[in-house]
Structure 1
Amino acid sequence: MYRLNKRAWKLLLAEIEKCSGNDQVSQIEKQIVIKRLEKLRLEKGSPAGIDELREAVVDIYPQFSQKVLKQAAKANRPSRIFSKIKWVVILAGSSAGVVWVANLPDPMIRWPVARTAPMLLLPSYMSMDYHYRGVIQNLEQADQLINKATSPVDIQEGAKKVQQAQKHLDNLPVWFLGYYPEGYCTWFRCSWRFTVDEFEAAREKAARINAIAFQDKNALTPLNQGEQAIQLAKQQYEQATTTQDREKAIASWQAGIDQLEEIPAETLAAKTAKSKLKAYKRDFENARIGSFITAAQEFDLAAEKIKPTQPQTASQLWQQAINRINEVPLENPRYLEAQKLMAMYQSKIQGLVDPKSSKIIAGAKQFAQAAAQASQNPPHTATKWEQIAKLWSKAIDQLEDVRVEDPDYVEAQKLLASYQTNLGIIETRLQAETESQSALKQANEQIQSLIASPPSDPQQFQAQIQGIINQLNTIKPGTTAYPEGQRLIALAQQRLKQ
């Protein structure tokens, strides 16, 4: 006979549905109660009575209907043994003083009583059973809330559950470690064996969950501070009217992003920050590049105003503008715009100090601009990469004509270093394109040869296909041959599986 029959189970389940809510905590509580009752359904022995059914639900649902409990107990056909237990409790009540003394938390008293009259320790057994259930229930809820948190509310609720579990742990009778009350558990079907290892495991789990909750709660502070710093920096940037104010806002913006990136990775706050950081960094980069270009334009306006009377100062202002423009990287979408501005500012400086060198540098920048524009939207064929490389080489040749004694020699050398770097990048891309096309050609030749003369040995056939795949894998990403190579790899892999 199972301890909880189907009829009683249905009555209790219907009332559980009425008592439970729809939030995450309520669903966890519901699962805990159902798990307890399912355990009774799988256990064989005397039928569970109203007291045991009440213990299974009342700590989670104090509002659970007493009427339903009575109906379920009646439907479950309670055993006569519970009347004996009630009789024992009544006798114990008549000797309240003796029971009180027997249940004092003193091993010298309890051990003899446990051996000779264990029923006198019924209050201690019930207390131990209650607090043990409290530990398990609250730790299960805390574990669910903390490790599967979706909001700060889950973390707060999980921390509360850990504290409640710790209170139950503190109330467990540590003096009874390793003792199993067979008489009590024969009547009440104890689901526990209170051992030293189990007690220590519960303590360690509570401490671990508490530490996770503490870390999660602490991580919310830098998350909030970082987001507030970023929002404030955005507002300051939008309201800034000078270069200094914009750069100050940019610095605050970067500090906010750095704070979010330093949040411990295993926390809920880090997961939340990670989902937002991509957008924050994109907006930050756009603002940073926009700040460089805007600052350069402001320096240009200031230089134009004082050029007739203070040409040397105007030249310095244009140099400041060029320094800002140099911060715009080659891969940025506004690179071409920045290069046009740089060419204009360089022309203005050179027009002031040395018209000849100014024309040389202006010509070199035209070639550089054409090369940068042709480089957009890769990949390109090897022929086009060669054309782009020639443009950079032409710009370099122009700059090398600026003499050491020319006033613009230093600026020409800066541009020369930049252009030589860009030429190196283009030459690398050209080499990758050439090698990848060669690898694709060889792979196609191997494919045609395999189709024309396939080997009769299946293993040799597969080995040749694998060789073709290895050849195709040498094709580098970012080349015109790469998409075709990937398509052929996929076809070859399908052939291997056949």
Structure 2
Amino acid sequence: MAKVGGVVAAGFLGLSGLIWFVNLPYPMIRRPVAGIAPMLLLPSYLSMDRNYREAIAHVEQADQLVNQATSAADIGLGAEKVKLAQENLDQLPVWFLGYEPVRMCHFMGCSWNFTFDEFSRARAQVGRMNARIFQENNALTQLQTAETDLQKAKQAYQTATNVSQQQNAIADWQTALDQLTVLPRETLAGTTGATKYRNYERDFNRVVGSVAGSNQTQTMIAAAQQFAALATQNSQKSAYTVTEWQQIETLWSNAIDRLQKVDSTDPDYLAAQSYLADYTQKLGVVKTRLETEEKSTLAIAEAKRQTQELISSLPSKPNPDERNRLISRLQGIIDQLKQVQPNTTVYAEAQTLLKQAQSKLSQL
């Protein structure tokens, strides 16, 4: 009897060892077994099924927490869910896609029967949420730093014993307030900071009074002038790319945004309005140049596309009808190139292509 029990135990251990071996996460082991004896891979299938279900659940939970966060705790919990989703996805053997046991899945309804595209989308979504969490955490850190600096400056102002100390405290206080205005608006910290900024600014104006208000206005005007100077410095060439014009446009917009914050009751209001009128006019010029660059870039791109189509369909010996069609299409390319305006980055290239097209047209 003992021998029989020993044999059974040995057989059980042997079977357990076999199942353990064939379920090792190596394609060279699992793939042949999946085609011959898929039942032996049942532990792997169950693990895959569980990880796939949990990955989907964690991704959905993380999406809700991260993209609809109302507190830092939501961001932290969302980060945990993203990490769990990543761990679940890491447990799914991508090499196994296309080798799943079709017959077994027919009876068991495998929920992990997915494609490479679905797997890639899930990973991409996790990646986007990781980037969003990184941005949110950075913004929260900036918000906390700004609030800490603000409280320190406020305390320094209240304990100042002379005018110099008060002025230094006011400057630090204003710097902390400015930090709240540069938080990314699409983040939780940006939304929270915008609300807190109004309260902090009201407290700042109440405590510091008109002197601080005047200093704040001067700071705003100085900041606007810095943005304007940089925009002017970056506008010296006759032509810029679309991206470069957009950057210049942003600089002018930032300068205007700061001037628009100057209150009409402030002593420096008229000076701010003078700068505002000048900067608004220059922003209009930049917008026009940007639009011209965009249209010219699109025009030459379309001309190149039509040229490639014409070359690919060009007959070796065109008959009269084909010759007329070639003339018509070539004229269309010429008209497209004529839309490219001077003082754009693509004008010189467009002129070269235009001469070539006109020369070819004259030959026809």
Give the TM interval when normalised to the shorter protein: 0.5 to 0.7
Instruction: Tell me the CA shift for residue 161 of structure 1.
Output: 1.1
User: Which of 112, 118, 125 pairs up with 1:205?
Assistant: 125
SS in 1 for 2:100: coil
Instruction: Give the equivalent residue in structure 2 for 1:139.
Output: 59
Kindly tell me: are residues 330 and 187 of structure 1, through their superposed partners in 2, closer, same or farther at Cα, counting changes over 3 Å? closer
User: Which of 193, 214, 218 pairs up with 2:138?
Assistant: 218
Question: Counterpart amino acid of 1:122?
Answer: L
Q: Is the contact between residue 229 and residue 252 of structure 1 (CA under 8 Å) also seen in structure 2?
A: yes
Rounded Cα–Cα distance in structure 2 between residues aligned with 1:158 and 1:93: 43
Kindly tell me: are residues 294 and 221 of structure 1, through their superposed partners in 2, closer, same or farther at Cα, counting changes over 3 Å? closer
Rounded Cα–Cα distance in structure 2 between residues aligned with 1:251 and 1:273: 19
User: Which of 260, 284, 289 pairs up with 2:180?
Assistant: 260
Deviations 1:5-54, CA, capped at 9 Å, x for gaps = xxxxxxxxxxxxxxxxxxxxxxxxxxxxxxxxxxxxxxxxxxxxxxxxxx
SS in 2 for 1:95: helix
Rounded Cα–Cα distance in structure 2 between residues aligned with 1:270 and 1:148: 14
Instruction: Tell me the CA shift for residue 275 of structure 1.
Output: 0.9
Which ranges in structure 1 are unaligned for 5 or more consecutive residues?
1-90, 296-327, 336-417, 426-498
Kindly tell me: are residues 149 and 261 of structure 1, through their superposed partners in 2, closer, same or farther at Cα, counting changes over 3 Å? same
Deviations 1:455-481, CA, capped at 9 Å, x for gaps = xxxxxxxxxxxxxxxxxxxxxxxxxxx
1:331 aligned onto 2:331:
no
Kindly tell me: are residues 216 and 329 of structure 1, through their superposed partners in 2, closer, same or farther at Cα, counting changes over 3 Å? closer
User: Which of 43, 62, 72 pairs up with 1:152?
Assistant: 72
Instruction: Tell me the CA shift for residue 156 of structure 1.
Output: 0.8
SS in 2 for 1:144: helix
Instruction: Tell me the CA shift for residue 169 of structure 1.
Output: 1.5
SS in 2 for 1:120: helix
User: Which of 160, 177, 196 pairs up with 2:116?
Assistant: 196
Q: Is the contact between residue 122 and residue 184 of structure 1 (CA under 8 Å) also seen in structure 2?
A: no
Q: Is the contact between residue 31 and residue 99 of structure 2 (CA under 8 Å) also seen in structure 1?
A: no
Instruction: Tell me the CA shift for residue 128 of structure 1.
Output: 0.8
Question: Counterpart amino acid of 2:129?
Answer: I
Structure-to-structure mapping, 1:65-464, within 5 angstroms: 95-291=15-211, 331-332=265-266
**RCO higher in structure (CA 8 A, sep ≥6):** 2
Deviations 1:67-118, CA, capped at 9 Å, x for gaps = xxxxxxxxxxxxxxxxxxxxxxxx9987323323332333333333222222
Q: Is the contact between residue 34 and residue 99 of structure 2 (CA under 8 Å) also seen in structure 1?
A: no
Q: Is the contact between residue 178 and residue 196 of structure 1 (CA under 8 Å) also seen in structure 2?
A: no
Q: Is the contact between residue 53 and residue 111 of structure 2 (CA under 8 Å) also seen in structure 1?
A: no
Rounded Cα–Cα distance in structure 2 between residues aligned with 1:160 and 1:215: 16
Q: Is the contact between residue 178 and residue 194 of structure 1 (CA under 8 Å) also seen in structure 2?
A: no
Rounded Cα–Cα distance in structure 2 between residues aligned with 1:92 and 1:138: 37
Question: Counterpart amino acid of 1:259?
Answer: Q
Q: Is the contact between residue 53 and residue 112 of structure 2 (CA under 8 Å) also seen in structure 1?
A: no
Rounded Cα–Cα distance in structure 2 between residues aligned with 1:120 and 1:266: 51
- CA RMSD for the aligned pairs? 3.2
Which one is further off, 102-111 or 127-136?
102-111
Deviations 1:96-155, CA, capped at 9 Å, x for gaps = 233233323333333332222221211111111111112111111111111111111111
Q: Is the contact between residue 179 and residue 194 of structure 1 (CA under 8 Å) also seen in structure 2?
A: no
Instruction: Tell me the CA shift for residue 287 of structure 1.
Output: 4.3
Rounded Cα–Cα distance in structure 1 between residues aligned with 2:164 and 2:62: 50
Rounded Cα–Cα distance in structure 2 between residues aligned with 1:243 and 1:264: 35
Q: Which entry has the higher C-alpha Rg, 1 or 2?
A: 1
Which ranges in structure 2 are unaligned for 5 or more consecutive residues?
1-10, 216-261, 275-364
Kindly tell me: are residues 330 and 172 of structure 1, through their superposed partners in 2, closer, same or farther at Cα, counting changes over 3 Å? closer
Rounded Cα–Cα distance in structure 2 between residues aligned with 1:329 and 1:138: 49
Rounded Cα–Cα distance in structure 2 between residues aligned with 1:330 and 1:155: 40
Q: Is the contact between residue 52 and residue 111 of structure 2 (CA under 8 Å) also seen in structure 1?
A: no
Kindly tell me: are residues 169 and 244 of structure 1, through their superposed partners in 2, closer, same or farther at Cα, counting changes over 3 Å? same
Rounded Cα–Cα distance in structure 1 between residues aligned with 2:191 and 2:212: 32
Kindly tell me: are residues 116 and 266 of structure 1, through their superposed partners in 2, closer, same or farther at Cα, counting changes over 3 Å? same
Q: Is the contact between residue 250 and residue 287 of structure 1 (CA under 8 Å) also seen in structure 2?
A: no
Kindly tell me: are residues 198 and 244 of structure 1, through their superposed partners in 2, closer, same or farther at Cα, counting changes over 3 Å? same
Instruction: Tell me the CA shift for residue 286 of structure 1.
Output: 4.1
Instruction: Give the equivalent residue in structure 2 for 1:16.
Output: none
Instruction: Give the equivalent residue in structure 1 for 2:8.
Output: none
Rounded Cα–Cα distance in structure 2 between residues aligned with 1:131 and 1:122: 14
Question: Counterpart amino acid of 1:189?
Answer: G
Instruction: Tell me the CA shift for residue 186 of structure 1.
Output: 2.7
Instruction: Give the equivalent residue in structure 2 for 1:403.
Output: none
Question: Counterpart amino acid of 2:61?
Answer: Q
Which one is further off, 100-109 or 203-212?
100-109
Question: Counterpart amino acid of 2:195?
Answer: S
Rounded Cα–Cα distance in structure 1 between residues aligned with 2:119 and 2:95: 12
Q: Is the contact between residue 92 and residue 120 of structure 1 (CA under 8 Å) also seen in structure 2?
A: no
SS in 2 for 1:263: coil
Rounded Cα–Cα distance in structure 2 between residues aligned with 1:263 and 1:212: 14
- How high is the TM-score relative to the length of structure 2? 0.53
